[in-house]
Amino acid sequence: MPVVISQRYPLGRFHATRWNQNPFEDPHGEWPPSPWRLLRALAARWFQYSRETGDRNEAVRDELLQTLASSVPSYRLPELTWRGKALRQYVPTAVEWTDKSKAKPAVKKPQRTLVEDHFRAVAPDEPIYWLWESASLNKTQETLLRHLLDRMLYFGRAESHCRLELLDRLPDGCEPNCRLSPKQGRGCPVLVPRPDVNLDIHLLLAPTDDERMARRRIPAGTMWYYAELPRKLFIQHSPSAMTCYPSDLTSIQFAIGGRVVPTRERWVKLTERFRGRVLRRRAQQVAQRREAAYGDLTADQRENLSLIAGKDGNGHPLDSHRHAYFAVWPDENGQASRLICFRNSSFTPDEVQAILAASEQPITWESGSDGWQVRLVPLPFDTVLPSRLIGPSTSWRSVSAFVPPRARRRFRRHGRLRPGERPSRLVSKFLQKCGFPEPVSVVPSSDPVDSEWVYIHATLAERRRLRDQGMRPVRLGYHFQIEFSKPVSGPLCIGDSSHFGLGLFAAVEW
């Protein structure tokens, strides 16, 4: 008869670090719980049981532990678990006097060290099932195991409170979804006992009690197995949960908050990373897989993302700029204040859900700068767009630099400038192409500058090519003031990387 153990975490957390691993450097954590940890916990509880009952039958204990160590268990793991963000705190180590040789009086000052606590989030009502399919216990061993499990109030660190129970069999409908294999793959390392483990030497002694256990990377009598974790369950909200989204929603706004917000020339880095998250969320929705990415989708699936990505299912750019814009809007001091996502057609409930989900985690807008992150806080759907963004007005001024498209050639082969390719002339051409009337004048603006070097959106292949050449995706942008003969309504956003917020204009009068 197989051995089945049910394990629950009432507080919803399993706190543990793999054997001999630095918590600051452990990329895996311990998941699922290791059989070696379970054997040591049972051995520790046997000493407690022996003191409380006076039962010192070591033979039954050894038979029980040897039976569980002779085979590798399989697991039924909850589908909704994840590794939580590490908890860091300073712990005092000693209290020492400060330097007495200085002019100031010496005082006692506590010394401290930073510790990191890793945990796995587990639903309190979702048990973990351990299954030894080839193991069999007699009545005496089964009774002892029940007593030991009753005395195990935590598993791992002391804060991971748990309850364990011996079952007769797996519940109906439950099958193992995680098995351990000695072949190293993409799975998580799990410490298991060897079948020939010596209990007296390997299990019941502390690592410092015997020279044969000291200075080893893993305890003697153990080895690493690897667990292929079950695929995470993808949660698709029901249509009834999406009815709260307005059906005519054409813009979604977020407040930008952070200690260091991106400067104007780096606004594109924030918008392109946010758009990338939105595309990833939409890909997960369409493919019904948590690990899905845009590049994994079929042509038909990519068609569903065309109004966000700006490309159809075959990778051809959409015409008429019908897809979504992602733009940063400044406050009165010119600092990044809002991120606005807008387009002419209404967003679908799935798109709204993906856009909101993309804002749940902080966004690092500068590579290699820990802490240079911002949070995007969704504003109510009925929040009015900035009046200077939508106008109407006859006079418009640059908010972000206008960058001429890379395909335009400003100079002829003999070196003379093409009159129609001047930046001011290009602004007029693109405005008419987007359906706006021909402006009366387009003149450089000196508020705050007339030109500047700005980051532009670049594909992954382009960024790699530029990085290999020691370059960055930076182009020269221009600031203009546009005058129309009659008021026009915005938004006005044209030029290279316009769907990422470059070439954005604000109404001067409204």
Contacts with 455 (C-beta within 8 Å, 6 or more apart), sequence order: 265, 266, 268, 269, 472, 473, 474
Q: Are 39 and 145 in contact (CB under 8 A)?
A: no
Check residue 347 and report its DSSP letter.
P
Q: Are 328 and 501 in contact (CB under 8 A)?
A: yes
Check residue 165 and report its DSSP letter.
E
Q: Are 329 and 341 in contact (CB under 8 A)?
A: no
Q: Give the per-residue pLDDT at 214.
A: 59
What radius of gyration do the chain's Cα atoms show? 32
What tens-digit pLDDT sequence spans the chain (510 residues)? 789 999 999 999 998 888 877 777 777 788 899 999 999 999 999 999 999 998 888 899 989 999 999 899 999 998 888 888 888 888 888 888 877 666 777 888 888 888 888 888 898 889 999 999 988 899 999 999 999 999 999 998 888 999 999 998 888 888 898 999 888 766 788 999 988 887 876 777 665 555 655 567 788 788 899 988 887 655 554 443 444 688 889 999 999 988 888 888 889 999 999 999 999 999 999 988 888 888 889 999 999 999 999 999 888 888 888 899 999 999 888 899 999 999 999 999 999 999 999 998 889 887 654 557 899 999 999 889 999 999 899 999 999 999 988 655 555 555 566 666 788 888 998 999 888 999 999 998 876 667 888 888 887 788 888 888 888 888 888 999 999 999 999 899 999 999 999 999 999 864
Q: Give the per-residue pLDDT at 368.
A: 55
Tokens coding 470: 């020691």
What pTM was computed for the model?
0.58
Tokens coding 410: 């400003």
Q: Give the per-residue pLDDT at 87.
A: 82
Peptide bond into 392 cis (omega under 30): yes
Peptide bond into 380 cis (omega under 30): no
Q: Give the per-residue pLDDT at 239.
A: 43
Check residue 509 and report its DSSP letter.
-
